[in-house]
Chain A
Amino acid sequence: MKHIRIIPKLDIKGPNLVKGIHLEGLRVLGNPEEYAKLLSEMGADEIIYQDTVASLYGRNSLNDLVSETARSCFIPLTVGGGIRSIEDIKDLLKAGADKVSINTAFINNPSFAKESSRLFGSSTIVASIEAINYEGEFLAFTDNGREYTGKKVLDWALELQDCGVGEILLTSVDNEGTGEGYNLDLYRLVKEKLEIPLIFHGGAKEPKHFLDLLNISDVDAFGASSIFHYGLLNLNRIKNKSNDHGNTEYLSKNISFKDFGEFTVTSIKEALSNAGYNLRIENKK
């Protein structure tokens, strides 16, 4: 039996949880740890932290946040952004991360994918791919969709699989943050050929979007951000909204994110389960 995983992805900038559209135009949504704890309680199967500015500055600054989160969330935690060396991976594992997700450093040096997978085990290494549809072809990008890598998405995914990485985290930059649903063409292209688990991310806003993907293919893991972040905000579950960094206007005006509903990990899992799919649903105490 395979149970479909639901994995919230939390983009982090400085001390804040942020969210953009097409990975750009970041809004501050609050304290990532508070979100992670709630999401974990609501049945998230794993959590991904992505440092959104780390690659630009060449460092990952999430160690403290990771260490705090690992103390309260006893589910798998994947951390990405700015990881360039074996030492960087060691530091994050030491802080309490279970897996690391890497994009730019693998593009620059595919043998790093091989080396890190051999050293830490495939299960620790997640390769992240940012895909953009350019004139009908899916191409791989880095730096939140800014830099073209010269690789086609499927070729690159298969190369990473050969390098021994344990999972692929594939984000459709075109769909990301838009709430238009998952990019079915991109998914079909990669899923059919891949033999390692695929986490697919970008565009989910409602249960229908998850079901649309399940209708065309089987799914290992759904990544999602906005739907869960705005769901928690709309449900008034987030206490700690004040923060003086970044663009907090959205929060201080207490705008209800009307584009998004009040969906949570729990309600999405229930919807998919009711449609006949297998997911981990814990019995209520």
Chain B
Amino acid sequence: MKNDIDIAIIDYGLSNLYSVDLACKKAGINSKITSSLEDIEKSKGIILPGVGAFDHAMHNLKEKKLDHAIYNFIETGKPFLGICLGMQLIMEESSEFKKTKGLGLVKGSCLKFDFQKIENFSFPVPNVGWNKINKTSSTWNKTLLSKNEDGDFMYFVHSYYVEAEQEVVTTYSNYGKYEYCSSLSYENIHAMQFHPEKSGDKGLKIYSSLSDNLEK
């Protein structure tokens, strides 16, 4: 049977999946917004997007049995990309609203930004806007950032950030006193706190790298 889905964009509720879909299409990826377990299984890669509340999202993933579909997919070695809340969900837990267990694919947890006032500068929460991604000592060759450059601007919208082990962190970004993990890669799992689909040409390069990563 012909495998006609390159990327399954996982639909588990109220996220804005459409800009992710448009960015995939722009990069020549045949993407499909879906919550079908079969679609996920036969796709060449999956994207877990997401905005909104962590507990709500975990609840929806479990209810639709998407958590197991994701675990099984990761086992195949095909690429997984988590975006924004989709990055946070792969961690072990979050303290958003109440302590909630995540998918636990990567060691670490999600913490909330405090509102900061440093000298005369305020750092509102959520953190909304463009920020630089700074390269860690890790190489980007095997990540989805292989076409990007150290210091590229990306668009962020988030109140929580991920704390992960240093080995998996591919970029960090700064917000006031915080220096936090803005993207990570662990084997075939890639995750980004920023929205590559909303980050202009630099962001679209990430979709292009994802396209290159898919089995032909």
Binding site for B on A (CB under 8 A): 1-3, 5, 40, 45, 70-71, 74-76, 90, 93-98, 118-124, 166-167, 191, 194-198, 217-218, 220-221, 280, 282
Contact = CB atoms under 8 A, between A and B. Distances in A.
B122 interface: yes
Given A1-B132, A123-B128, A124-B52, 15 more contacts: A2-B129, A2-B175, A3-B129, A5-B130, A70-B18, A74-B19, A74-B203, A76-B155, A122-B159, A167-B128, A195-B115, A218-B120, A218-B121, A220-B122, A220-B124
Contacts of B155: 45, 75-76
B19 A197 contact: no
A71 B22 CA distance: 6
A120 B198 contact: no
B124 A123 contact: no
B131 A3 contact: yes
A118 B53 contact: yes
A221 B130 CA distance: 11
6 contacts: A1-B132, A2-B121, A2-B123, A121-B53, A166-B128, A196-B124
B200 A221 contact: no
B51 A124 contact: yes
A96 B204 contact: no
Given A74-B199, A120-B52, A280 B128 contact: no
B113 to A, nearest CB: 11
Contacts of B203: 74
Q: Which 8 A-B pairs have the closest CB atoms?
A: A121-B52, A123-B157, A121-B51, A280-B130, A195-B115, A197-B124, A93-B16, A280-B153
Interface of B: 14, 16, 18-19, 22-23, 26, 51-53, 85, 115, 120-126, 128-132, 153, 155, 157-159, 174-176, 195, 197-204
Contacts of B115: 195
Contact of B130 (A3, A95, A122, A217): A3
Given A122-B159, A196-B124, A197-B124, A94 B18 contact: yes
Contacts of A120: 14, 51-52
A98 to B, nearest CB: 6
A278 to B, nearest CB: 10
A153 B52 CA distance: 27
A166 B53 CA distance: 13
Given A122-B159, A218-B120, A93 B18 contact: yes
Contact of A123 (B51, B120, B123): B51
B126 A45 contact: no
Contacts of B16: 93, 97-98, 124
B125 to A, nearest CB: 7
Contacts of A75: 155, 198-200
Contacts of A70: 18-19, 22
A269 B175 CA distance: 21
Given A93-B18, A122-B159, A98 B122 contact: no
Contacts of A94: 18
B129 A221 contact: yes
Contact of A90 (B14, B122, B128): B14
Given A119-B14, A124-B16, A197 B200 contact: no
A196 B129 CA distance: 12
Contacts of B201: 74, 282
Contacts of A93: 14, 16, 18
Contacts of A76: 155, 157, 195, 198
